[in-house]
Amino acid sequence: MSSAPFEMTVSVLPDDIDEQDHVNNTVYLRWVQEVATAHWRAIASPEAQETIGWVVLRHEIDYKTPAGLRDQIALRTWVGKATRLTFERFTEIRRSSDGQLLSKARTLWCPINAHTGRPIRVPAEVRAQFST
């Protein structure tokens, strides 16, 4: 099971740059979370957004090529395997100007009840929305 990709673009800002004069690794992690959140908000129903929250169980990030100040960055994400208790999400981070792969990530997310913070099963209709 895999969902249609969701994409957005971000700019590298001065605060994103580290002592090595490139985007800090923690910024890539922030982008992985931002594009996942944007995808959820763009696709999930208002009711699902009100009742389901998400926590990360695991991030795996491979860093390929550095990004620099003022680069435009294309973030692309999609859901892989979606079970009752987890969503596997993939993210590619590329420089927009040349399409160079900068980083890729695999993240395992667990749904929680937005009000209690306790893990819940992913409803079938939500799994269906995020799969092709």
Looking at residue 61, which CATH number applies to its domain?
A: 3.10.129.10
What is the structure's pLDDT at 124?
85
Kindly state the DSSP code that residue 109 receives in the 8-state scheme.
E
Distance CA 47, CA 75 (A): 26
Q: Considering its fold, how many domains does the chain have in total? A: 1
Q: Domain for residue 68, yes or no?
A: yes
Is 117 inside any structural domain? yes
Predicted confidence at residue 83, as pLDDT, reads 84
pLDDT of residue 2: 57
In a domain, 55, yes or no: yes
Domain that holds residue 124: 6-129
Which residues of the chain carry a pLDDT beneath 50? 1
- Tell whether 1 is covered by a domain: no
CB contact at 8 A, 93 and 102: yes
Assess if residue 25 is contained within a domain: yes
6: amino acid identity, one letter:
F
Q: What whole-number distance in Å separates Cα of residue 49 and Cα of residue 61?
A: 26
As a whole number of angstroms, the distance between CA 32 and CA 39 comes to 11
Q: Is position 28 within any domain?
A: yes
Q: Is residue 52 part of a domain?
A: yes
In which residue are the tokens 């937005």 written? Answer: 114
Q: Percent of the chain at pLDDT above 90?
A: 83
Domain contains 21:
yes
